[in-house]
Structure 1
Amino acid sequence: MLNRLSLRVRIFLFFCLLAVGALAVSSVALWISYLRVADPSLVNAFIMAEILMGFGFIALIIAVWLLFDDNVAKPIERLSAQLRARAHAGVSTDVDTQAARYLGDLAPAAAGLAEQLSGKTLDVAQAVAAETAYLTAEKERLTALLTEIPVAMVLASPTHRIVLYDGQAAGVLAQIAHPRLNASLFEYLQRGPLEQAHKKLSKSGFEVDCTLTSVDGAQTYSARMKPLGDAPGYLLIFDESAVNISPEEARPLVYDFDLLNSTDGGQFESLALQELCFVVFDTETTGLLPHKDEIVQIGAVRVVNGRIVEGEHLDMLVDPGMPIPPASTKVHKVSDHMVQGAPDIVEAGRTFHQFARDAVIVAHNAPFDMAFLRRHAKRMEVEWDHPILDTVLLSAVLFGASDKHTLDALCARLEITIPNELRHTALGDAVATAQALVKMLPMLQARGMATFGAVVEATRQHGRLLEDMN
Structure 2
Amino acid sequence: MLANLSLRLRVFLFFCLIALGGALILGASLWAGLSRALTTTPQNGFVLAGILSIFGLTALTAGVWLLFDENVAKPIERLSAGMRARAHAGVAVEVDARAARYLGDLGPAASAVTEALAQNAMSTAQRVAAETERLAQERERLTALLTEIPVAMMLINSAGQIVLYDGQAAEVLSTLGMPRLNAPLTDYFDAGSLDRARGRVNRSGKEARCVLTSRDGAQSFDARMKPMDAGGYLLIVDAAHTDIPPDAARPLVYDFALLTARPGEIGDETPLCDLTYTVFDTETTGLLPHKDEIVQLGALRVLGGRIVPGETIDQLVDPGRPIPPSATRVHHVTDAMVAGKPDIAEAGRRFHSFAQGSVIVAHNAPFDMAFLRRHRARMGVEWHNPVLDTVLLSAVLFGASETHTLDALCQRLGVTIPERLRHTAMGDAQATAEVLIHMLPMLQARGLTTLGAVLAETRRHGRLLEDLN
Q: TM-score, normalised by structure 1?
A: 0.89
Tell me the residue number matched to 1:117.
117
Q: Distance in 1 between matches of 2:137 and 2:324?
A: 49
Q: Distance in 2 between matches of 1:157 and 1:320?
A: 41
CA shift, 1:266, in A, is: 4.6
Q: Distance in 1 between matches of 2:281 and 2:356?
A: 16
Counterparts of 1:318-397 in structure 2, within 5 Å, are: 318-397=317-396
132-141 vs 91-100, greater mean Cα deviation: 132-141
Q: Distance in 1 between matches of 2:128 and 2:247?
A: 35
Contact kept, 8 Å, 2:172 with 2:239, in 1: the verdict is: no
- Relative to 1, partners in 2 of residues 1:131 and 1:281: Cα closer, same or farther, differing over 3 Å? closer
Contact kept, 8 Å, 1:232 with 1:261, in 2: the verdict is: no
Contact kept, 8 Å, 2:168 with 2:239, in 1: the verdict is: no
**2:403 equivalent to 1:400:** no
Q: Distance in 1 between matches of 2:72 and 2:200?
A: 67
Tell me the residue number matched to 1:415.
414
- Relative to 1, partners in 2 of residues 1:433 and 1:189: Cα closer, same or farther, differing over 3 Å? same
- Relative to 1, partners in 2 of residues 1:266 and 1:356: Cα closer, same or farther, differing over 3 Å? closer
Where does the alignment leave 5 or more consecutive residues of structure 1 unmatched? 1-14, 31-40
Q: Distance in 2 between matches of 1:171 and 1:267?
A: 28
**2:449 equivalent to 1:446:** no
SS at match of 1:386: coil
Counterparts of 1:210-289 in structure 2, within 5 Å, are: 210-229=210-229, 231-249=230-248, 251-289=250-288
- Relative to 1, partners in 2 of residues 1:170 and 1:130: Cα closer, same or farther, differing over 3 Å? closer
Q: Distance in 2 between matches of 1:397 and 1:128?
A: 31
- Relative to 1, partners in 2 of residues 1:266 and 1:293: Cα closer, same or farther, differing over 3 Å? closer
**2:40 equivalent to 1:65:** no
Contact kept, 8 Å, 1:77 with 1:399, in 2: the verdict is: yes
Contact kept, 8 Å, 2:404 with 2:468, in 1: the verdict is: no
SS at match of 1:221: strand
CA shift, 1:94, in A, is: 1.2
CA shift, 1:241, in A, is: 4.7
Tell me the residue number matched to 1:437.
436
**2:156 equivalent to 1:156:** yes
CA shift, 1:124, in A, is: 2.1
Tell me the residue number matched to 2:307.
308
Tell me the residue number matched to 2:35.
none
SS at match of 2:181: coil
Structure 2: which amino acid aligns with 1:464? R
- Relative to 1, partners in 2 of residues 1:459 and 1:148: Cα closer, same or farther, differing over 3 Å? farther
Q: How many correspondences in the alignment?
A: 438
SS at match of 2:361: strand
Tell me the residue number matched to 2:108.
108
Q: Distance in 2 between matches of 1:240 and 1:129?
A: 35
- Among all aligned residue pairs of Structure 1 and Structure 2, give the percentage whose two residues are the same amino acid: 63
SS at match of 1:235: strand
Q: Distance in 2 between matches of 1:469 and 1:105?
A: 34
Contact kept, 8 Å, 1:169 with 1:243, in 2: the verdict is: no
Contact kept, 8 Å, 1:276 with 1:304, in 2: the verdict is: yes
Q: TM-score, normalised by structure 2?
A: 0.89
CA shift, 1:330, in A, is: 1.5
Contact kept, 8 Å, 1:274 with 1:306, in 2: the verdict is: yes
Structure 2: which amino acid aligns with 1:186? T
SS at match of 2:268: helix
**2:78 equivalent to 1:78:** yes
CA shift, 1:222, in A, is: 1.4
